[in-house]
Structure 1
Amino acid sequence: MKKKWLATLGLVSLLSGAFFTGCSTSDETNGEKLKDEPVEITLAGWGASPEESELLKEVLADFEAKHPNIKVKHEVIADQYMDVIKTRLIGGEGPDVFYLDAFEAPALIETGVLEPLDKYVTEDFDVEDFEKPLLEAFQKDGKTYGFPKDYSTLALFYNKKMLEEAGVDIPKTWDELIEVSKKLTKDSDVYGFGVAPELARLYFIAESTGGKVVKDNKANFASPEVVSALQPIIDQHLKDKTSARPQDVGANWGGEMFGQGKAAMVIEGNWAIPYLENTFPNLEYGTAEVPTINGKKGTMAFTVAYVMNAASEKKEAAWELISYLTGKEGMEKWTSKGFALPTRKSVAEKLGYDKDELRAALVAGAPYATVWSNGTNLPIIVNNFNNQFISAFLGEQSLEDALKSAQEQANKEINN
């Protein structure tokens, strides 16, 4: 989440130039080339676990078996993924198909380097099958620039033994979570709640009382509505002393804190499930939907799409790959091991994730989730929010002062 954003006006111009330069080959020519000659297309993405890499290798092999005239060259960009992608796009050497995080999507769509995919879609592709908020993250002005390959929402992870020993029920509301945390906290050995004090995790909470974190593509998180919505996060840590960050107990992230028994409850994503199974196999835990705030359900969603380079000279083949990977068959295999959740509702149902003991709460959150994406300036906004919010979380200044300072700085950078 802490990525440096380099999409300046100059970059937009360069990317747009690369786009127009690379559009000389017609779709008709691409189509004939696809039918008559072997075609090699490039798929670029970031690194993954060995298990995920092997699974993707199998999915791509299946695709090639069904499309014998298309070969896929898979490139893994291990570091500075978006910087590398942008540099290659500028230089006219961008991959035909590549991963795009929803967080990065608005700014890249703005440059014109992404191919709108609507004209390639056939009726049997079933666009309506995608979870709506996840698909909308890659749409603008009625056009679709990517189809989400997988996602995760956030859910409440709770230690069954700790809740049972404390004689408390799984909290259904945020007020209940605050009260339950008091009974679960044991001095500094165990905290009732493990919290991640960053905007990526707090965005939906910040907007739970009607405020807007981003307004007109500028920071708006110093508004009274947002401040009041986030104040309970500060109070639970400083006043109740029933919540802590992972680093406060020597852990690197919430899943580790939870697995070590340093927090009775955390809010994490699907990625925590395989981690806990492998690292803490004896841990007895459950998941539930994130407690409601003011009677409303809320959670975050993090998603990644396959997108097409508008300058690709192999668009028809590129679409064949995208449509297979995000189609029902390809997506089913890709998400079959549970490393990520399928963005298609039918695939989630077929794999049983909507009824899975641990994943059902995550799937249930998809229709109402707030996707981690909002406008071209969100990277600037989040950096300034996080820098100042943590000082309020640690008691160095009031939340109101911290967010006011962060908002002023963010909008100054945006205006410049």
Structure 2
Amino acid sequence: MISPARPPTRRIAVLLTGALALVSAATGCGAATGARPATDKVTSITALDYYTDETEHAQWGKVLTACGKTAGVRVEQTSVPGASLIPKVLQRASSRTLPDLLMLDNPDLQQIAQTGALTPLDRYGIDSGGFAKGILSAGTYKGKVYGLAPAVSTVVLFYNKDMLTEAGVAVPRTWNELKAAAAKLARPGRYGMAVDANATFEGTWQFLPFLWSNGGDERRLDTPQAAQALRLWVDLVKSGSMSKSVLNWTQADVHDQFVAGRTAMMINGPWRIPALNQDKNLHWGTAPVPVPRAGRTPITPLGGEVWTVPQNPFKARQEKAARVLACLNDRSTMRTLAEQHFTVPSRTAVAAQYAERTPSMAAFVENVEAARARTSRLGVGWPQAATGIYTAIQSALTGRQTPEEALRNGQQIATGH
């Protein structure tokens, strides 16, 4: 799942020295590697994740400890900053000195599986039944499941109930309704709608529901469907219904605008709910992301982390790690994690029960049913396409190019020519 402060995708350019030391400890390099037992008498395994937030780390520590007990091992958990994880994983993949249990942001799985550093989970007999199709796709590489996510996230439309009631506006379900509602809700000091349109993968993440729900495709950005989706955002800015500052806002900034009453609606994720719940004077609701026209199903991107079992010479350790992974993805653990983190259980039946008990998560559960993994169509080529998308968004919203021109340029970036 995505923590409140964490963007949905991470790419890095710099390694932190301190983080390197932490990862080295977790991956068992140096003397620790040689000390790993090669027999069935495995008493401990290592696990690596990026849950560095103190509360989040502690919550996951309890879950890993409990699942370790079911497997008969102690789980030694190490958490490193998200920006440090993938470089170190790639560095250690070739030497097979990865930890026994490895957590990855789901768009990164393709890149790591491509190196041959992960083991397919079918060899351990892990139950992957009942998972939503998109969720299973997020952990799949070349037809083999390499990772499973206990819970996932996506984005929905948040709205201020009081503002909509005062303005006599119904919760928008279509793009036309969204434009009309945003215009009616806008007034001095307040915009009707807010999104994150910045020049990062976060901006792409927020645009995907509009692109995909209109039949757009990241494999071919220069299409009428993609241009129509981008035109919607352009029109919202041009009409004054949405601030031009969205070009620089993060998802956290969008949240702050909403809490401060400077926007009546926003696109955001469930990791914002704990903070929203702290403001007792803020009456908010959620709804599926509006679609181009009535009858369409919103298609949103999947966020969340998958757990994997890396390759190493010690099969007994891999078996133990697989048992812990299976426990993390059982129905009971899914419910616990979803309740702790405001995420959606990955098994459809569990998610449906969760939505009944937690109404604020019902829209997320609905959107997850048709949600799509960002790597489902392009695999390891996804980051380049994502760059092309957010570049096009920036060009169109600043007025430098029309949506059509911006997306043609974005397609060139996505394909490298």
> Are 1:318 and 2:321 counterparts?
yes
Q: Where does residue 101 of structure 1 map in the other structure?
A: 105
Moved more, 392-401 or 161-170: 392-401
Which residue matches 1:143?
A: 144
Distance 1:170 1:380 in 2: 35
Deviation of the 1:252 alpha carbon: 4.5
Q: In structure 1, what is the equivalent of residue 289 of structure 2?
A: 290
Query: SS in structure 1 opposite 2:99?
Result: coil
Distance (whole Å) between structure 2 residues aligned to residue 325 and residue 394 of structure 1: 45
Aligned pair partner of 1:80 in 73, 80, 84 = 84
Distance of aligned partners of 1:406 and 1:290 in 2 relative to their CA distance in 1, 3 Å threshold = closer
> Equivalent residue for 2:24?
none
Aligned CA distance change for structure 1 residues 98 and 251 (closer, same or farther; 3 Å): closer
Distance 2:250 2:302 in 1: 27
4+ runs of 1 displaced by more than 6 Å?
A: 247-251
The one-letter code of the counterpart of 2:384 is I
The aligned counterpart of 2:405 is 401
When residues 83 and 250 of structure 1 are mapped into structure 2, their CA distance, relative to the original with a 3 A threshold, is: closer
Question: Is residue 221 of structure 2 the alignment partner of residue 221 of structure 1?
Answer: yes
Q: Tell me how far 1:349 sits from its aligned partner.
A: 4.2
Q: Deviations over 1:24-52 (max 9, x none)?
A: xxxxx97xx33xx2332111000343222
Q: Is the 8 A contact 1:134 1:303 kept in 2?
A: no
Distance of 2:352 and 2:223 partners within structure 1 = 40
Shift of 1:224: 2.9
Deviates more, 1:167-176 or 1:330-339: 330-339
Q: Is the 8 A contact 2:389 2:407 kept in 1?
A: yes
Report if the CA contact (8 A) 2:70-2:324 is conserved. Answer: no
How many Å separate the matches in 2 of 1:399 and 1:184?
25
What are the superposed Cα offsets for residues 307-329 of structure 1, whole Å, 9 maximum, x if unpaired? 11022522111111101111123
Q: SS in structure 2 opposite 1:42?
A: strand
Aligned to 1:3: 11
1:379-394 matched pairs, under 5 angstroms: 379-394=383-398
Distance 2:249 2:311 in 1: 47
Q: What's the CA shift string for 1:356-404, capped at 9, x where partnerless?
A: 2210110111111122324211112212321342121121222222222
Q: Is the 8 A contact 1:246 1:257 kept in 2?
A: no
Letter in 2 for 1:296: R
Match of residue 369, structure 2, among 346, 367, 370? 367
User: Going by fraction, where is strand more abundant, 1 or 2?
Assistant: 1
Contact 1:251 1:257 in 2 (8 A): no
Contact 1:106 1:376 in 2 (8 A): yes
SS in 1 for 2:282: coil
- Could you say what secondary structure the match of 1:207 adopts? helix
Report the residue type matching 2:77 in the other structure: H
Runs (5+) with no aligned partner, structure 2? 1-8, 15-36, 198-202
Q: Does 1:341 align with 2:344?
A: yes
Partners of 1:85 and 1:207 in 2: CA distance: 31
1: CA distance, partners of 2:140 / 2:42? 32
- Native 8 Å contact 1:237 1:393 kept in 2: yes
CA distance in 2, matches of 1:106, 1:242: 38
Match status 1:44 vs 2:43: no
Paired residue for 1:378, among 363, 382, 405?
Answer: 382
**2:285–2:360 Cα contact (<8 Å) kept:** yes
- Sequence identity of aligned pairs in percent? 26
Q: 2:133 corresponds to which letter in structure 1?
A: K
1:130 alignment partner, SS class = coil
8 Å Cα contact 1:139-1:146 kept in structure 2: yes
Give 1:250 shift.
Answer: 10
- Return the alpha-carbon distance in structure 1 between the equivalents of residues 259 and 49 of structure 2: 30
**Residues 225 and 256 from structure 1, CA distance in 2 versus in 1: closer, same or farther, beyond 3 angstroms?**
same
**Mapped partners of 1:110, 1:250: distance in 2:** 31
Query: What is the match of residue 165 of structure 2?
Result: 164
**Do the aligned partners of 1:270 and 1:341 also contact (CA within 8 Å) in 2?**
no
8 Å CA contact 1:52–1:339 kept in 2: the answer is no
1:79-123 superposed Cα distances (whole Å, 9 cap, x missing partner): 42211221122343211111122211222222221100112125x
Contact preservation (8 Å) 2:153, 2:344: yes
* TM-score for both structures, normalised by structure 2: 0.83
State TM-score, norm by structure 1: 0.83
Which one is further off, 357-366 or 42-51?
Answer: 42-51
Q: Equivalents in 2 of 1:362, 1:246: separation in Å?
A: 23
Specify the alignment match of 1:65 in structure 2.
69
Superposed CA RMSD in Å reads 2.4
Task: Establish whether residue 243 from structure 1 lines up as the match of residue 248 from structure 2.
Answer: no
Shift of 1:293: 1.9
Gaps of 5+ in 1: 7-28, 215-219
Q: Distance in 2 between matches of 1:403 and 1:80?
A: 32
C-alpha deviation, 1:354, in angstroms: 4.0
State the one-letter code of the partner of 1:142: G
